[in-house]
């Protein structure tokens, strides 16, 4: 979009927050870059330059605006919508792969040489993987500087910087302030033990089905709803964490307790993905509203998101446990598995007790000990045996993962598309065989057979996963209700 100069100028002049994260506006006279909705007076159009990422603006010599904080704007929807190499690379960079494994590790996961990947990213984004990761490190550093009492040397290490010097230089270059000056300017009082972060999103956001789904399907010991927030444990690259996510009118309040602060950016990225916060609800709802059947559903509650997951392998196991059983039964099966094979953790609030079992732990489970039909035991053990070879992570190839899952016994369209929707993050995943979808289709006068409904739903592409949320919402089920 940054190449459509006329459209970008209009967005900046109207301070349109819908375009935050889609592009960044840099001002030649001040050498500052902003989000489109920056509250300051818009610059003259001839002084505007547009960039697709904050990293590209920083690489061009611009520093972040202190008013609108463009480094903290919602991410571009493109990286969740698209399945090409650039989008997969951006999802992996957000997940911290470059900080952990370097550019060679990122290239290896994508199956490209480092030179090819560098060329692809520079051609579309104006910055290479190192610059993109550096911009993310700067944002992580800012969060730690402003919300913790850590020493600056610890902040530098936790943010992924190789040295104190590169940390200081980057913070000064990006924010035009030293780390110490940033901490002095912070309005939020420092906290110890728990980091409080604001997760922005593009309005509108309808939280009822999003948080209702997560709470209604919560696995005992791993997830819970407490004090108006969804809480869960997370297994992270350097340790584990506990997150509490609370919906507020203009942002999601996020409280993170981490055993290793190097996991901060990764944890934030997973929380944003879990709640689908980088979606473009305006585009989704506009297309779905073209169907006269869906139009009143969208008008009644615009901005529905797709509840996703923080761990693709975990959700795949849970999808198998949920085959042909009720939500309550699926929770019971998963809870038993967690209690017997999950890793115990300590929760200051006492409600969370375990991390979900790793594939290695599940591989040691005796199938006969599972209170499941024999066919489902076979399905589960077959999945666990192949989890190391099936990429269900943020950088996965959606179609390849579908094909690999289809080769496993007991994996039909419902299971595969459920995993594609919530674990892989495919916005066009569609489950016409789902009971709730079929009941909704019949009540709305839509075709009820899977083939006919799929044909009708072709007009909803590429947003069929969001159409499913609107169809589910017609039913009387706890997943549609924000818990009290």
By annotation, the residues acting in catalysis are 34, 434
The alpha carbons of the chain give a radius of gyration, in whole angstroms, of 22
Residue 326 CA to chain centroid, in angstroms?
26
Tell me how far apart the alpha carbons of residues 43 and 28 are, in angstroms, rounded to a whole number: 9
Please say whether the beta carbons of 51 and 60 come within 8 A: yes
List of residues 6+ apart from 292 with CB closer than 8 A: none
DSSP 262-317: GGHHHHHHHHHHHTTTT--HHHHHHHHTTSTTTHHHHHHS--B-----S-HHHHHH
Please say whether the beta carbons of 201 and 210 come within 8 A: no
Tell me how far apart the alpha carbons of residues 195 and 96 are, in angstroms, rounded to a whole number: 18
Which 3 state secondary structure label does DSSP give 113? coil
Please say whether the beta carbons of 401 and 435 come within 8 A: no
Angle, to 10 degrees, between the axis of helix 129-147 and the axis of helix 97-110? 150
Task: Work out whether the CA dihedral 443, 209, 313, 404 comes out positive or negative.
Answer: positive
Tell me how far apart the alpha carbons of residues 39 and 53 are, in angstroms, rounded to a whole number: 20
Q: Are strands 343-344 and 223-226 parallel, antiparallel or unpaired?
A: unpaired
Spatial CA neighbour of 170 closest among 34, 64, 26, 23: 64
The number of residues making up the chain comes to 484
Q: Read off the DSSP letter of residue 206.
A: B
Which 3 state secondary structure label does DSSP give 231? strand
Which 3 state secondary structure label does DSSP give 448? coil
């Amino acid at each position: 979009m940054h190449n459509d100069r006329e459209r970008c100028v209009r967005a900046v002049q109207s301070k349109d927050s819908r375009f935050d994260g889609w592009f960044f506006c840099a001002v030649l006279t001040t050498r500052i870059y902003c989000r489109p909705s920056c509250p300051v007076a818009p610059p003259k159009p001839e002084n505007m330059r547009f960039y697709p990422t904050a990293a590209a603006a920083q690489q061009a010599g611009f520093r972040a605006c202190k008013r609108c904080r463009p480094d903290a704007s919602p991410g571009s929807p493109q990286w969740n919508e698209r399945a090409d190499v650039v989008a997969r690379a951006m999802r992996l960079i957000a997940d911290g792969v470059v900080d952990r494994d370097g550019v060679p590790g990122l290239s290896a996961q994508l199956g490209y040489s480092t030179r090819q990947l560098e060329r692809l990213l520079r051609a579309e984004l104006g910055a290479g993987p190192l610059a993109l990761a550096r911009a993310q490190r700067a944002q992580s550093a800012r969060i730690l500087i402003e919300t913790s009492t850590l020493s600056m040397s610890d902040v530098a290490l936790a943010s992924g910087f190789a040295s104190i010097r590169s940390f200081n230089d980057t913070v000064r270059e990006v924010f035009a302030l030293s780390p110490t000056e940033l901490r002095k300017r912070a309005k939020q009082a420092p906290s110890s033990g728990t980091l409080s972060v604001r997760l922005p999103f593009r309005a509108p956001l309808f939280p009822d089905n999003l948080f209702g789904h997560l709470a209604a399907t919560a696995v005992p010991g791993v997830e819970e709803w407490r004090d108006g927030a969804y809480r869960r444990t997370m297994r992270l690259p350097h340790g584990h964490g506990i997150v509490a996510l609370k919906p507020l009118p203009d942002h999601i309040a996020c409280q993170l307790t981490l055993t290793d602060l190097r996991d901060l950016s990764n944890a934030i990225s997973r929380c944003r993905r879990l709640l689908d916060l980088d979606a473009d609800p305006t585009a989704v709802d506009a297309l779905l509203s073209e169907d006269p059947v869906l139009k009143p559903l969208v008008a009644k509650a615009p901005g529905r998101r797709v509840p996703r997951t923080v761990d693709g392998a975990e959700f795949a196991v849970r999808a198998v446990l949920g085959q042909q059983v009720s939500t309550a039964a699926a929770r019971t099966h998963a809870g038993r598995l967690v209690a017997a094979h999950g890793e115990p953790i300590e929760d200051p609030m006492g409600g969370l007790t375990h991390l979900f079992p790793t594939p290695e732990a599940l591989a040691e489970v005796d199938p006969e000990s599972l209170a499941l039909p024999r066919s489902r035991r076979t399905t589960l053990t077959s999945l666990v045996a192949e989890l190391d070879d099936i990429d269900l992570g943020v950088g996965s190839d959606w179609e390849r993962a579908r094909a690999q899952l289809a080769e496993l016994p007991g994996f039909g369209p419902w299971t595969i598309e459920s995993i594609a929707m919530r674990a892989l993050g495919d916005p066009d995943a569609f489950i016409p065989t789902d009971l709730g979808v079929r009941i909704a289709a019949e009540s709305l006068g839509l075709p009820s057979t899977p083939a006919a409904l799929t044909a009708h739903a072709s007009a909803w592409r590429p947003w069929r996963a969001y159409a499913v949320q609107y169809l589910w919402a017609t039913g009387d089920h706890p997943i549609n209700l924000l818990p009290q």
